[in-house]
Structure 1
Amino acid sequence: MRLKLLLFTCVLLCALRTNAQQELISIPRGSGKVEIPFEYVNNFIVVRIVFNKIFPLKFIFDTGAENTILTRKEITDLLMVDYQREISIFGSDLTTELKAYVAPGISLEFGEHLQISSQAILVMKEDYFRFEEYAGIEVHGILGADILRRFVIHIDYRRQKIIFQDPSKFSPASVRNYRNIPVEFSRHKPYFNLPASIRADQSSEVKLLMDTGASLALLLYTHSDSLLQLPPELIRTTIGHGIGGTIDGYVGRTAKIKIDEMELNNVVTNFHDVAEQYVIDSTFLNNRNGIMGNVILQRFNIVIDYVREDVYLKPNKNFSQTFKFDRSGMSIIATGDNLNKFVVLNIVKDSPAFEADIRKGDEIKVLNGVPANLRGLENILRFLQKKPGKKVRLLIKRGEEKIRKELRLRDLI
């Protein structure tokens, strides 16, 4: 189920301080820009880097994370990195306190022409991500605002390219066809203040973190504003998993949200119902109401000028696409050594999967005649978003028994 979003926004309890004078950036002088390809997998931007000139790794490109994070401590252990100190962060569930180490002197290379040396990053004490299970690919960390803030960043979702540009080489005139969207930066992270109608008959302004580390459209914290009323049609479920644990709440649709004069309708929205007494000091969240993720952001070409604190958007051909949501009622994860086993993690009550007696722990072996290991997780999830009435035939494994199941997809929200 598409509910299994991941949120890679961490909140620091102890600030990571680096000596900017020691950090070295190598970028071509002529154009002052470097174009980097990325993979777009399950609504995540994944970039390839070379870590300390040795290890080829994959990192999530994350405008919602304050710091660059390595999740695999065994890598820096092999390099015998001298950790400076241990610090605490909160996970994306906003309640779980996690431990990380500050690792100085790290080198990161992007493509052939962009290198950042002597960078301090965070290294997680344990791998809290479980990213492979929920996205079906291997990822080793997060590329955060501590690196992105040095550049003007151009994101082209359709061409799957990111341009890192020297701010001194950038002119707003070069993006004259874009809209300059009012934005607020805090700790080098961009926030939108936008009018939204969660219900068609009710409107309020919401403050949203612009978060390319979230594979969702929209997430709202239900505790953050008494005016944020839940829509009439909701599913109670586990809405995701991020650093530190699962995220419980509801899924529904926001009737309308406006970005400048651009309007998006019937937006699939996750409502996070963390009890207020468990939420950390709101200053760490910059008093935001929620998150805008890639399922909205992918509808634009984006330019983020970190130095001048400007964001420019231009609608692309994805803009008018409807917001799709799972129609089966199943949450599915990828497991196994090669991530080629697909296991049901959760079932929504009274959904087609529930009525077909599909259960948590069932392994999907075949989907409509095609072995699941040939489809991959992303293809399976997209298949379960097909039109209402679509017949889904499954061969599942439950313990040692193989069972055939059949269901028909229908709208759940």
Structure 2
Amino acid sequence: MIKRCFIFFSFVILCQFTFAQSAFRLIRTESTRIKFQLIDNLIVIPVEVNGLQLSFLLDSGVGRPILFNIINTSDSLKLKNVESILLRGLGDGGSVEALKSTKNLFKIGDAVNVNQDVFIITDETINFTPRLGIPVHGIIGYDILKDFIVEINYGSKFIRLNNPKTYKYRICKICETLDLTLVESKPYIDATVTVNERDIPVKLLMDSGGSDALWLFENDSLGLVPENNKYFIDFFGKGLSGSVHGKKSKVSKFSINNFHLNNVNVAYPDSAAISFARKYKERNGSMGGELLRRFNIILDYKNEKVTFKKNNRFNDPFEYNKSGIIIEQDGVRIVKEIENNSQFKNNQTQESLSRLSVIEAYKFMLKPAFRIVELRPNSQAERVGIKFGDIILSVNNKEVQHLKIQEVNAFFREKNGKLINLKIERDGVIMRFSFKLESLL
């Protein structure tokens, strides 16, 4: 997630508005509504940076905006006042080299900041685009959330930025309002998890940049351990500092005041990968997108409170990837397709019946290549012979060139026992495999 009139527009903004500090302001309005894409439980919004329209993840777990995947746009961005720094984040590696740029112009809907700091990750391997299947150029969180009362409507897929001075709360008897604790620009709430028949209070980061439902930091003394010792080891994803692995399990119940959800997916990340995240000693984990998307949310950083309201996804079952296959969009492949306007020829003679001949025309298209980049050891997929690096061509007779990456992943989250038929390409050879999804919990 490219304004032709940017030069004129920015000139007007800079002449009429002078902001003493780094802050977003609404221009001639009390609120602005921005549509977003919801992909793998993550919010992707359009953000204009120095006149160039890009796509950002809305990540409540980050402070200053971070840019990456900008090789083809770096010249157009015109970043200012650049210096080298080191950044540290989730993952089992160390710090990553980055650049810091100041005094940039950011625009989100009708909200503008003319003095925005931004960090730029130069490592090309740190890139959300292959996992999400659409271009994603950065992450933004606290710097936009702190200046407004923010409505996140997961049901209708939009956010609304409201002026805190004029915003009026509506009476909502079916909502739950909680205190919000802000620590180093990150929002935390109190919740309860039920594990091994124990109700355990937990303090969780509200993490809209995490696609999983719930992360808990394993702690024997608190009882934060896989329920009934049932779990499997899996790949969670990549942070700024490398890959994150750990245990996946279930909790019997997750509660926010009077809102209760049963049989919720939980991940217990390896302690080495989250050592940096545990600097805040009271933190017990994170509430991620798979939970957050079940609510419409009002974030009020100024008054340190958050309001939850159930939406129509509240009772969706908590499924997980049972195949052991993780795919990325890795380049493109050439696909041969029949033209829709194939020609028809009418052959008719006096001595024969009329015949209708079809002259088929083909075209060659470039389509995304979905490559297997992680394969859980001893998974059903691995057992039948599927390998790391295989390119998926079809799933259950549906050609993947017609599907989005999240639609392909949805096949792997089907119910236990579902038959999966894959056609794959390996070193130019077409192969077919079948296996049944197997619940590991």
Same fold (TM over 0.5): yes
TM-score (norm 2): 0.82
Q: Deviations over 1:372-393 (max 9, x none)?
A: 2212210111112122232221
The code of the aligned residue for 1:316 comes to N
User: Matched residues in 1 for 2:171 and 2:378: separation?
Assistant: 52
User: Matched residues in 1 for 2:413 and 2:305: separation?
Assistant: 36
Partner of 1:301: 296
Is the CA contact (8 Å cut-off) linking 1:326 and 1:384 kept in structure 2?
yes
Shift, 1:154, TM fit: 0.1
Aligned: 1:228 with 2:256: no
Shift, 1:350, TM fit: 3.8
Shift, 1:275, TM fit: 3.6
Partner of 2:326: 331
Q: Alignment partner of 1:194: what SS?
A: strand
User: Matched residues in 2 for 1:225 and 1:175: separation?
Assistant: 38
Partner of 2:287: 292
User: Matched residues in 2 for 1:287 and 1:84: separation?
Assistant: 36
Shift, 1:291, TM fit: 1.1
Aligned: 1:263 with 2:260: yes
Q: Alignment partner of 1:291: what SS?
A: strand
Partner of 1:320: 315
Question: In 2 relative to 1, CA 339–224 (structure 1 residues): closer, same or farther, beyond 3 Å?
Answer: farther
Counting matched residue pairs gives: 389
Question: In 2 relative to 1, CA 202–409 (structure 1 residues): closer, same or farther, beyond 3 Å?
Answer: same
Aligned with residue 110 of structure 1, among 95, 99, 108: 108
Is the CA contact (8 Å cut-off) linking 1:133 and 1:339 kept in structure 2?
no
Partner of 2:180: 183
Is the CA contact (8 Å cut-off) linking 1:73 and 1:126 kept in structure 2?
no
| Cα RMSD after superposing both structures | 2.4
TM-score (norm 1): 0.87
Partner of 1:21: 20
Q: Deviations over 1:317-371 (max 9, x none)?
A: 1111110112222222221147711122233344321332212121111111121
Unpaired segments ≥5 residues, structure 1: 1-18
Between structure 1 and structure 2, the one with the greater Rg is 2
Question: In 2 relative to 1, CA 220–305 (structure 1 residues): closer, same or farther, beyond 3 Å?
Answer: same
Partner of 2:150: 153
The code of the aligned residue for 2:292 comes to L
User: Matched residues in 2 for 1:299 and 1:29: separation?
Assistant: 33
Aligned: 1:101 with 2:99: yes
Q: Alignment partner of 1:60: what SS?
A: strand
State percent identity of aligned pairs. 27
User: Matched residues in 2 for 1:20 and 1:58: separation?
Assistant: 25
Runs of 4+ in 1 over 6 A off after TM superposition: none
Aligned: 1:347 with 2:393: no
Q: Alignment partner of 1:195: what SS?
A: strand
Is the CA contact (8 Å cut-off) linking 2:370 and 2:391 kept in structure 1?
yes
Is the CA contact (8 Å cut-off) linking 1:92 and 1:243 kept in structure 2?
yes
Aligned: 1:412 with 2:440: yes
Is the CA contact (8 Å cut-off) linking 2:49 and 2:77 kept in structure 1?
no
The code of the aligned residue for 1:212 comes to S
Is the CA contact (8 Å cut-off) linking 1:188 and 1:306 kept in structure 2?
no
Q: Deviations over 1:167-218 (max 9, x none)?
A: 101233455652211331112321012221233x233222210011111101
Greater RCO (Cα-Cα under 8 Å, separation 6 or more): 1
Shift, 1:226, TM fit: 5.2
User: Matched residues in 2 for 1:170 and 1:176: separation?
Assistant: 19
**Matches of residues 6-405 of structure 1 in structure 2 within 5 Å?**
21-23=20-22, 25-30=24-29, 32-53=30-51, 55-72=52-69, 74=71, 75-76=73-74, 78-93=76-91, 95-111=93-109, 113-173=110-170, 177-199=174-196, 201-222=197-218, 227-231=223-227, 232-275=229-272, 279-280=275-276, 282-283=278-279, 285=280, 287-337=282-332, 340-405=368-433
Question: In 2 relative to 1, CA 122–349 (structure 1 residues): closer, same or farther, beyond 3 Å?
Answer: closer
User: Matched residues in 2 for 1:138 and 1:269: separation?
Assistant: 28
Is the CA contact (8 Å cut-off) linking 1:218 and 1:292 kept in structure 2?
yes
Shift, 1:309, TM fit: 0.9
Partner of 1:15: none
